[in-house]
A and B are shown apart, each in its own frame.
Chain A
């Protein structure tokens, strides 16, 4: 993404709703295709920006099920190849871990 230059000026045409806009894409956070399309229209043009704006991929699965679908929608709305849209970074702890268990990870137990 960092090599990918995006010029961002406001869209001239109004936002056009589509038939499949009510389809839920991010199941954890219940975010629809229409909301993602609207976010791209509003200027969110990377996976991270859409995520921060809408919460796509911020739920329990951390985007493991919807990432590629969200990427394809962004690419389609921007009329760019999907390879140019970078998937958001995966971060610790990958699977949800209760705070009481995470808290037990101490330096003295490491080798």
Chain B
């Protein structure tokens, strides 16, 4: 029905970024998306572009993206993606919190990341709106945030302009093989041919690769966010806390986006669609007001939820499948894929074109789960 050099399954930020970097090098890409562009976690996350508190094996990707990609990405794609690199402030109130933060700082510093502990007075100086009980904080000045909705669409827009074909509403049902090599994909409407297929379909990746007997362990996890009306500019930092009870930032529009949980999400009704849990937004509000009482009058205009695709070690699979020529996996981002999406897109293009990799991908190999599957 249709032919391309590479088929990407999934029109999220990873799929769109990979399409962009491939098409830029003249590789003809076809992206198949079952819903619409950025319908899943790409548009449901908190927008953090964060290196601090990242798994040490994933940190090089985050550091590379922050140093070399995020600062120029908006200009490169021709869309304002609202990237704001003013640091990540992680707040704490108790001795136990301070211990957690000190550990994060030591871990960051050991890997070459610029991180410091701040005293109560220092925190108040850079962020006067915090609650009185806040006594300690860690700060990573090179962290930041961007608008994940627009960033995803910006990759899509640029790739489309350069010649990538996107088909939305087209759900891939199976992969097809010819003599043990990838030949294309099957959908309800027909078949598409390509000798390389990148599966970047989050949780749906599993059913897709199962069609040819390949499997990876993935588990879903429901998380929720809320957004307030526009407030006067208060602070430019990405905010987190030592107990990790909420995270968030103020957008360039003025609204605050906060994410968090009530702890009850895993026990909710088993639903296919990410449906908001009634107790989660109040829990997020209580957590936020415990650190920023000034926001009591900020009005929540919307709440939403989304699924994480978690692997057992909470690291993504960004890998060729050794036994099947032409199959590349990019899934299991476990809730922290947005910040590393540009470099993952670039690395995927290098995997396809068999170029020297900008960074090693050994920690994200498909093979690491083989003994369990």
Contact = CB atoms under 8 A, between A and B. Distances in A.
B299 A98 contact: yes
Interface string A1-16: 1111111111000000
A6 B279 CA distance: 37
Interface of A: 1-10, 42-46, 48-49, 52-53, 55, 58-60, 62, 91-93, 96-100, 102-107
B279 A107 contact: yes
Interface of B: 34-39, 43, 149-150, 152-153, 156-157, 160-163, 165-170, 189, 227-229, 253, 276, 278-279, 281-282, 285-286, 288-289, 295-304
Given A60-B229, A92-B302, A99-B298, 17 more contacts: A2-B169, A7-B166, A9-B160, A9-B165, A10-B163, A43-B156, A49-B36, A53-B150, A55-B253, A62-B301, A92-B303, A93-B303, A96-B229, A98-B299, A102-B281, A103-B286, A103-B289
Contacts of B166: 7-9, 43
A6 B160 contact: no
Interface secondary structure of B, over-half rule: mixed
B77 to A, nearest CB: 11
Interface secondary structure of A, over-half rule: loop
B157 A43 contact: yes
B153 A44 contact: yes
Q: Which of B152, B228, B288, B302 has the most CB of A within 10 A?
A: B302
Given A4-B169, A10-B161, A49-B37, A105 B282 contact: yes
A96 B289 CA distance: 17
Nearest to B298: A99
Given A99-B228, A103-B289, A7 B167 contact: yes
Given A46-B36, A52-B149, A96-B229, A103 B299 contact: no
A42 B300 contact: no
Nearest to B228: A99
A19 B44 CA distance: 36
A97 B285 CA distance: 11
A52 B149 CA distance: 6
Contact of B39 (A48, A102, A105): A48
B342 to A, nearest CB: 18
Given A46-B36, A102-B282, A7 B299 contact: no
A52 B281 contact: no
B149 A8 contact: no
A102 B302 contact: no
A6 to B, nearest CB: 5
Q: Which of A3, A44, A92, A107 has the most CB of B within 10 A?
A: A92
B169 A62 contact: no
Contacts of B302: 58, 62, 91-93
Contacts of B295: 99
A68 to B, nearest CB: 19
Contact of A102 (B167, B189, B300): B300
Contacts of A44: 153
Contacts of B149: 52-53
B292 to A, nearest CB: 9
Contacts of B286: 103
Nearest to A42: B157
Contacts of B165: 7-9
A93 B298 CA distance: 14
A61 B297 CA distance: 17
A102 B283 CA distance: 9
A103 B245 CA distance: 14
